């Protein structure tokens, strides 16, 4: 089975039905047959189906998007523990895959969203926020995201009471992939829809 591709110009999914719409509501996972393939334009041939517990956990992000009437595409792939690895599994450029980083800033935790190809410049960001900034520890990530798989930083601060900053390099008109609550599931959506939902503060804080 080949890898399906999404044609942004036509809004169609290759190797699938023409004009297939993005998901705007969540189907119950138990109604979806367990198989080696699942909906999504970037599903790799070697995909694995997450366990029921993983699916139930990931549903929080997808259900949240559905309840807010946000169009998205669910993606399933082999477990990926970095944003760059996720991009490789999905056969996508790293600039189209988001890296979500939990930081500890002057006022506590905050989420930073940037392309997978970039890194957070903590010194630059500290100057803009007016105080020291550091990466959160694994223990702090687990504390902030208790319903996620270990090490996962969910992109929707609204669900966790966290402020969010978005790097200026991400265009509002571009498509972006966000990790859900597990290392094997993600959602693809427009950056402008993410901005409308989360109201993040836009800042320039990323470096190669």
Task: For residues 152 and 174, give the distance between their C-alpha atoms in angstroms, rounded to a whole number.
Answer: 23
The parent domain of residue 72 ranges over 6-207
Other CB atoms within 10 Å distance of the CB of residue 172: 13
The pLDDT tens digits for 50-90 are 344 444 444 678 888 999 999 999 998 889 888 889 989 89
* Residue 1 located in a structural domain: no
Tell me, yes or no, whether 84 lies in a domain: yes
pLDDT at res. 23: 41
Residue 27 dihedral angles phi and psi, to the nearest 5°:
-85, 145
CATH for 115: 3.90.960.10
**Per-residue model confidence (pLDDT) at position 93:** 87
- Which residues are 7's β-sheet partners? 12
pTM beyond 0.85: no
Decide if 38 contacts 48 (C-beta within 8 A): no
Average pLDDT by stretches of 10, the chain with 208 residues = 37 36 37 33 32 49 90 91 89 91 97 96 98 97 90 90 97 93 91 96 96
């Amino acid at each position: 089975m080949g890898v399906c591709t999404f044609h942004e110009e036509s809004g169609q999914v290759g190797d699938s039905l023409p004009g297939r719409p993005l998901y705007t509501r969540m189907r119950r996972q138990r109604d979806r047959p367990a198989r080696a393939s699942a909906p999504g334009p970037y599903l790799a041939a070697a995909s694995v189906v997450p366990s029921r517990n993983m699916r139930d956990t990931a549903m929080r992000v997808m259900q949240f998007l559905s309840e807010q009437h946000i169009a998205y595409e669910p993606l399933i792939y082999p477990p990926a523990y970095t944003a760059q690895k996720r991009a490789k599994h999905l056969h996508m450029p790293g600039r189209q895959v988001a890296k979500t980083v939990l930081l500890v800033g002057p006022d506590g935790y905050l989420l930073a969203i940037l392309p997978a190809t970039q890194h957070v410049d903590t010194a630059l960001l500290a100057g803009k926020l007016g105080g020291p900034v550091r990466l959160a520890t694994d223990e702090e990530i687990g504390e902030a995201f208790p319903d996620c798989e270990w090490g996962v930083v969910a992109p929707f601060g609204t669900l966790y009471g966290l402020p969010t900053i978005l790097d200026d390099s991400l265009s509002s008109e571009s498509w972006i992939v966000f990790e859900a609550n597990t290392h094997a599931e993600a959602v693809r959506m427009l950056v402008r829809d993410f901005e409308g939902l989360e109201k993040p503060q836009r800042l320039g804080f990323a470096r190669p």
